[in-house]
Amino acid sequence: METTVTHHPFRDITLAYDRGKPQGERELATLAQYVELHDRVWKLKVMRQGYEPRLAEAALRIDGLRDSLHPIERRVEVMELGLGLRAADGPPPFEGKLTMKLNDFYDDSDRFNDGIHGLYGLIKQVTEEHNRFLDEYNAFDGWFEAFNDGPLYEIFQDWETVSVDTVSLDRDHQAFLEAWGPVWQAEDDYFARAAAAFAAYDDLIRVSDALFLRVKRVQAALDGIIDPSGEEG
Amino acid sequence: MGALLDIRVPADDRCRLTLVADEAFAYLDLKLDDMDDGIDIPLVSAADAFWLIFLVSGEGCRLSFEGHWGANALGMQEYQGFNVGAGHHRLRVSDSRCRLQGVAIAGQAKALIGNDYGKLQPLALPYDRESSAVPPYLPRCPFNQKASALFERMADIPGDGIARLYACRTLALDLLRLYDTQLREDRTTDDRQGIALFHAAIRHIRAHCLDGGLTPQLVADAVHTSERTLRRVFASRGKKVIEYINFTRLMKARELVLLTDKPLKEIAYTLHYSDVQYFIREYRKTFNIHPKHRMDYMPEGFDGEEE
């Protein structure tokens, strides 16, 4: 038996051969596909690792924007009450005169709008990357199943005639599966984090849309009592 | 390369040879018995069977006797004269797990060497000193041909008695080494057959895990083996067949969860889980995530196009 090691960025492939047996085309093709299996897993791993920082950044920015909505929501609520646009659920939150710096409110709202618009480009990129990865993942899934149940299965059945020592191939294949396990788990984690980020983005858009409508109502009411020069009417 | 022969003859008239060469080892159980079954094969005299035993017990080997029968059977008198049981004794030869057995009567003997890997290897003793041909009942494998050649060379060594036996020692150890190689080859063959069986079984499991009621017995039937063999093949990889069936079913569940929008209840029933909560528990236990997380989730109305 002659042992050969094929160096691969994912993991080294170690196989033994009985050089006394000729290698048929089918065996050669299967072994080439076995290397391709490593190529594909490696490609998925590199792709995902490249996409993960942007996904993490998007998730962080979504959370930040969601948090920044809270003070705006509180101000809108106070203004709605003050302008009589809604009735207090319980006792009035305050009595007497309320002074609110509208500029702060507008600044917060502007910052939020800028954030949402800035986020859109990132979400678009993250979505495209996610879709690309998903396509690649699904393509690999189908390919792997066909390879596993086809050529790889057959080479193990042909152990008497093939040149490659199926004991070494099986051992290497098991080692591959072991190496693949954490990568596969990381892919699952990536999909879960992407799903969570997209859900958070949806929630952010839904909440901010609803708030925008309320802001428009408040603005309309304020337009009635505030003249364009900013002086109280 | 270490070679060891251990002959033990306990009080129950059984004689066990333990052949050890490197990591391979073999047992040869000999028992005097008036047995009627077994396969009678003209081979060598009973004396020659013991001659072989003595041959392989040379330097670097260990020879020990236990019980009264051993001293009688393998005493120096017999060694020198090669007349053990001449014309009278029946020798039963079987491997340690009694898979096969043969009979050696005076003038007829069959020696079988068994091993721990499930193969029983007939030793090609020179049944006919005039012919170097491998006996027709023996597999025409390289081992038997080489073993025959070794015995031929032993037979050709001039001299008599102990001196001749010592002269044969090297050849006897060569036989051990040859047998060791054969054991390794047998084991590798077993491994390859086991690997082929394992991959055939997992392919069947993957293809039929949605059928429901898939059992180790059904898988064994599908790959034309016994359930016991299948269990052994899986056990050699630290797996149980039923665990693999369940795991494959959950892998299919994962596929359905991630790539379809089927309700979990429907997926659970598709995979023959009678209780959806049990399915969710098993899924979480296996994948460390709740099946409600779906890969195909996209932001609502977000298709990547500029708004």
Query: Within 10 Å of residue B305's Cβ, how many Cβ atoms?
Result: 7
Judge if ipTM > 0.85: no
Tokens of B24: 């391979």
Average pLDDT of the segment spanning A214-223:
83
Q: Other C-beta atoms within 10 Å of B30: how many?
A: 22
Higher local confidence (pLDDT), B189 or A150: A150
Q: State the pLDDT at residue A92.
A: 57
**Which candidate from A138, A153, A167 shows the least CB-CB separation from B192?**
A167
**CB count, 10 Å around CB of A169?**
25
**Residues B252 and B210 sit within 8 Å (Cβ to Cβ):** yes
Q: What is the mean pLDDT of chain B?
A: 57
Cβ of B289 under 8 Å from any chain A Cβ? yes
Cross-chain Cβ contact B193/A159 below 8 Å:
yes
Q: Which tops the pLDDT comparison, B156 or B216?
A: B216
Selection from A63-67, B1-5, B45-49, B85-89 with the highest mean pLDDT: A63-67
> Which residue of B192, B287, B290 to mutate against A (max A Cβ within 10 Å)?
B192
Query: Which residue in the set A134, A194, A202 is minimally distant from B300, CB to CB?
Result: A202
What was the pLDDT predicted at B53? 47
d(CA A140, CA A192): 19
| Segment B170-177 long-range contacts (CB within 8 Å, at least 24 positions apart) | B171/B55, B172/B52, B172/B55, B172/B56, B172/B58, B173/B3, B173/B56, B173/B58, B173/B60, B174/B150, B175/B56, B175/B147, B175/B150, B176/B3, B176/B5, B176/B19, B176/B21, B176/B56, B177/B1, B177/B3, B177/B21
Q: Spell out which residues of chain A touch residue B141, defining contact as CB-CB under 8 Å.
A: none
β-bridge partners, B166: none
CA separation for the pair A34, B105 (Å, rounded): 56
Q: B200 contacts in A (CB within 8 Å)?
A: 153, 156-157
Q: How distant is the Cα of B286 from the closest Cα of chain A, in angstroms?
A: 11
**pLDDT band at B255; cut points 50, 70, 90:** confident
Closest CA to A98 of A84, A82, A111, A113: A82
B14-21 and B24-32 beta bridge pairing: antiparallel
Interchain pair B297, A123: CB under 8 A:
no
Question: Is B299 an 8 Å CB contact of chain A?
Answer: yes
Question: In the prediction, which pLDDT does B183 show?
Answer: 60
Contact present, B156 and B163 (Cβ < 8 Å): no
Amino acid B89: pLDDT: 28
Predicted local confidence at residue B9, as pLDDT? 39
Could you read off the pLDDT of B24-83 as tens digits, one per residue? 333 344 443 333 333 222 223 333 444 444 444 333 333 332 222 232 333 222 222 222
What residue type is B222 in one-letter code?
Answer: A
Q: Do A192 and B191 touch (CB under 8 A)?
A: no
| B200: nearest CB among A123, A157, A202 | A157
Cα four-point dihedral sign A55, A59, A61, A62: positive
CB nearest to A149's CB, from B188, B206, B302:
B206
Residue among B203, B289, B296 minimizing CB distance to A192: B289
Q: Cα A13 from chain centroid?
A: 31
CA-nearest of A120, A147, A126, A154 to A27 is A154
SS3 state at B229? helix
Token pair 């170097």 in the structure block, residue: B132
pLDDT of residue B177: 60
B5: left (phi over 0), alpha (psi -120 to 50) or beta: beta
Give CA–CA dist A80/A157, Å, rounded. Answer: 76
DSSP B87: T
* Listed range (A26-35, B24-33, B104-113, B266-275) with the worst mean pLDDT: B104-113
Taking an 8 Å cut-off on Cβ atoms, the answer to whether B199 and A138 are in contact is no
Q: How confident is the model at residue A6 (pLDDT cuts 50, 70, 90)?
A: very high
Q: d(Cα A95, Cα B51) in Å, to the nearest integer? A: 117
Q: Do A170 and B195 touch (CB under 8 A)?
A: yes
Segment B237-253 shows an average pLDDT of 89
Q: What is the pTM of this model?
A: 0.63
Average pLDDT over residues A24-35: 95
Over range A68-95, report the average pLDDT.
Answer: 76
Residues 6+ apart with CB under 8 A from A183: A41, A44, A45
**What angle (nearest 5°) sits at the alpha carbon of residue A102, between those of residues A100 and A106?**
145
Closest Cα of chain A to B307: distance in Å?
A: 10
